[in-house]
Structure 1
């Protein structure tokens, strides 16, 4: 993952308090992203709060001056559109995965004594995950780093950092690229999940369901609490993404408005 050096932003000698706040939020999120010291949900929440400050900054004369004097207006607009696309791709993948998880849970909760079959629901989940991984792989391949070496500009820094956080999000949703896991690997992964905050719940659930299908094991190896946990994580991320998406739209609209005047 690319790192972006903290440097003095293009503010005047006595910046507005909002400019100071934006600078501080940028530095904190850069440090968090580089050191992986917080959860993905926390990073996305911090990114949403950063865009709240960006929205306020762009309403100020200093913010509008920053936009009007920039030398990379086309790149800035292209970048804002790309961020919206990445956010939408991530949100769609999360929604589809959550719906398939809910289908599996619905069958598990209706089970009575004796045998029951969730093969079709698991197949649909795994197909959805396979499709999402292909889309995300292409999305990650198409992401081009924001040029962050020439003009010092706060909005350029914000876009570059947003790309980094979104790459982390896409990698989390995609999970492991391995097609199948051994039973010992699955047990090891489950044992590790309680001792580390970095465990990818998508990997754990994917491994369990792949094992069930590939080795034709009974549905009782599926731990419904693990499905609920993943669904809960998806829901949290989805809610933050929805709010962040609205801020991205607002920021792009403000950019277009300022540049058209």
Structure 2
């Protein structure tokens, strides 16, 4: 997985400035943020790890709305305005992530539909595969633009807890978008890996931590187009696509929940400013 790796030390140089008055929610928030930072800093390319971190981020936002209700966090409207400006980027990044996941899923389902209609190993699906490869190139351009636009406002300001929230959210979306985009090119080593993954399912679990499902499917389908294969391992391709589709559905389910929290947080910030 081509994920965004944030320097582990950077998470510890930023202090979490919470309200001076002790409140149960601040301790829960602090614990969840610390846990999330640690998991992100020590993240691997495992898709399960990514799903877990996104779930952890969603859980963090459960505490955010309650934190924003504390009077001590509503004293500086200038801080809230700065965070409000950055919230739009986060909502856009989440929306873009869901869009590109759905596009990939639709293309996968189309190829699977073709495979179900063609039982023989002798088949030509280069047209459908070419459409998928073309769509993936478009997706990568969209992701590249989103990665360029997404940023954390006031990265050096640690006096307001929402700066810490936005920082970890930005980094998480960078990891997710990079994962969806996958590698830029496939090396000979990648082709060799894909062959093993198709023919030896036992080696798939061993290689899962090093290669994302997106990369595996991309490499397999690109090989069909580039090498003009007419005889393919139908079961192997179908298994790869089922795995990727399942992963997409899992990520999208988490993102749907996270999107609602992001919108709710922005609404709360707007309400604080209007009062």
Task: Provide TM-score, normalisation by structure 2.
Answer: 0.86
- Cα RMSD over matched residues? 2.0
Aligned residues of 1:181 and 1:211 also touching (Cα < 8 A): no
- Distance (whole Å) between structure 1 residues aligned to residue 238 and residue 120 of structure 2: 16
Aligned residues of 2:36 and 2:53 also touching (Cα < 8 A): yes
Of the three residues 143, 155, 164, the one matched with 1:136 is 143
In the alignment, structure 1 segments of 5+ residues that lack a partner are none
Task: Provide TM-score, normalisation by structure 1.
Answer: 0.90
Of the three residues 140, 152, 165, the one matched with 1:158 is 165
Aligned residues of 1:132 and 1:174 also touching (Cα < 8 A): yes
Of the three residues 15, 19, 26, the one matched with 1:11 is 19
Of the three residues 61, 77, 80, the one matched with 2:70 is 61
Aligned residues of 1:9 and 1:153 also touching (Cα < 8 A): yes
Is it true that 1:204 corresponds to 2:216 in the alignment? Answer: yes
Could you tell me how far 1:114 is from its partner in structure 2?
6.2
What is the correspondence of 1:109-124 to structure 2 with a 5 Å cutoff?
A: 109-113=116-120, 115-124=122-131
- Distance (whole Å) between structure 2 residues aligned to residue 131 and residue 151 of structure 1: 37
Is it true that 1:228 corresponds to 2:242 in the alignment? Answer: yes
Of the three residues 184, 190, 194, the one matched with 2:205 is 194
Could you tell me how far 1:24 is from its partner in structure 2?
0.6
- Distance (whole Å) between structure 2 residues aligned to residue 69 and residue 93 of structure 1: 37
- Look up the SS of the partner of 1:257 in the other structure: helix
Number of equivalences: 255
Is it true that 1:149 corresponds to 2:163 in the alignment? Answer: no
What is the correspondence of 1:77-96 to structure 2 with a 5 Å cutoff?
A: 77-96=84-103
Task: Report what 1:30 is aligned to.
Answer: 37
Could you tell me how far 1:181 is from its partner in structure 2?
4.7
- Distance (whole Å) between structure 2 residues aligned to residue 8 and residue 145 of structure 1: 16
Summarize the Cα distance change of 1:187–1:114 in structure 2 as closer, same or farther, 3 Å threshold. Answer: closer
- Look up the SS of the partner of 1:194 in the other structure: helix
Aligned residues of 2:112 and 2:238 also touching (Cα < 8 A): yes
- Distance (whole Å) between structure 1 residues aligned to residue 20 and residue 101 of structure 2: 42
In the alignment, structure 2 segments of 5+ residues that lack a partner are 198-202
Task: Report what 1:254 is aligned to.
Answer: 268
